[in-house]
Structure 1
Amino acid sequence: MKKLLFISLVSLFGCNRNAQTAHPPVGGVLSKKDLDVSRERMKNLNSAERGQIQDWINGQSVKYYPTQLNYWVTVDGFDQREKRADNTLISYSYDLYDFDETKIYDQPIEKRDARFGHFDELKVVENALRFIKDGEEITLLVPSSLAYGTFGDEKKIDNDIPLIIKLKAL
């Protein structure tokens, strides 16, 4: 019995020495240092993606304009338009593409009579819908931090993937 206890304790201490820093699950609590590391990583990633998106834009025949929320759109002065109010309804659809212009999902994502302020949607889509005119179609170029971020959509979109979103107000 003493031999078994001794072997168990030695194994336990041996495992503990090789343990890596534990990371809390999504929604868990992070230390200030962990938050600073994460913030710096996102800042560097966003800067790199913005450069890559700008290079992609330079090779396009369509003109794209930056917005205040850090994405690009095919309409000049887009986020200077009159903004839709909370609790108003909008119907819309959009398709997602990667920057190789490969469509990610076969069917568009479509919502009917969605109410502003109660969206279960990407924030960049909600923001763009605030300024889009009825029947208008626009294209958004979105860094990963405004798309599905470091987790992806857990289906077809991997982590840290910038997207092209073709959005239409129905």
Structure 2
Amino acid sequence: MKPIVILLIISLIFSCKSPDARRPESVQSGSFYEVSAERNIKLNKKEQALIQKIIDRNPDQEYIASKSGFWYFYNSKIELDTITPQFGDIVNFKYNIKDLNENTIYSEDDIRTQNYVMDKEELFTGLREGLKLMKPGEVVTFLFPSQKAYGYYGDTNRIGTNIPLICKVTVNTIKQNQ
């Protein structure tokens, strides 16, 4: 009888122990993210230097640096106080896409006139943000670093990985959302 009591007491003592936390099998140091961030910083600096060369070669143009990280100038500016697109507005526009060497990637004929519902449809980041700055009748040329264009993946057709772009955009009309 004594051995059973002793076994019961021992099993009670060991069964009351709280479970140990499980340890991960492998620990990641985060170095992948650090290397990726460094690579992107270098790429951004390189692209900004290329864009700055274009700006320097065209002193006649008044380039404006956007808060979003791209540059633009007005080919045709509307001075009147008219509307700019807001969320849900339908923007009718046309544009072309060139690389920084002015080689045409997509012409206006390739892309055709677009109807875009502001912030409700897919459009690359820089163009979406650029359209928000425009009024009907304006023509603007944008210089987009790759992270504001098609980024790492490109468009899986003619635009490759990390390609900065020049886009000349014409807004035809803006139909305000009711």
TM bin (shorter chain): 0.7 to 0.9
Question: Match of 1:87, as an amino acid?
Answer: G
* Runs (4+) off by over 6 Å: none
d(CA) in 2 for partners of 1:31, 1:156: 37
Question: Match of 1:86, as an amino acid?
Answer: F
1:95 has 2:96 as partner: yes
| Structure 1 residue corresponding to 2:42, chosen from 41, 44, 51 | 44
Q: Find the counterpart in structure 1 of residue 139 from structure 2.
A: 137
Higher relative contact order (CA 8 A, sep 6+): 2
1:165 has 2:167 as partner: yes
Q: Find the counterpart in structure 1 of residue 21 from structure 2.
A: none
**Equivalent residues of 2:124, 2:149 under 8 A apart:** yes
**Equivalent residues of 1:82, 1:131 under 8 A apart:** no
Give the alignment's Cα RMSD to 1 decimal: 2.3
**Equivalent residues of 2:83, 2:135 under 8 A apart:** no
Runs of 5+ consecutive residues of structure 2 not aligned to the other structure: 1-27, 173-178
Report how many aligned residue pairs link the two structures: 137
Question: Match of 1:65, as an amino acid?
Answer: I
Q: Tell me the CA shift for residue 111 of structure 1.
A: 5.1
Q: Find the counterpart in structure 2 of residue 4 from structure 1.
A: none
SS in 2 for 1:74: strand
SS in 2 for 1:45: helix
d(CA) in 2 for partners of 1:166, 1:108: 14
Q: Tell me the CA shift for residue 157 of structure 1.
A: 1.0
Q: Tell me the CA shift for residue 62 of structure 1.
A: 2.1
For normalisation by structure 1, the TM-score amounts to: 0.72
Question: Match of 1:146, as an amino acid?
Answer: K
Structure 1 residues 73-152: aligned runs within 5 Å: 73-75=72-74, 84-106=85-107, 107-110=109-112, 112-152=114-154
Q: Find the counterpart in structure 2 of residue 70 from structure 1.
A: 69
d(CA) in 1 for partners of 2:167, 2:52: 16
For normalisation by structure 2, the TM-score amounts to: 0.69
Runs of 5+ consecutive residues of structure 1 not aligned to the other structure: 1-29
- The sequence identity of aligned pairs, in percent, is 28
d(CA) in 1 for partners of 2:90, 2:83: 15
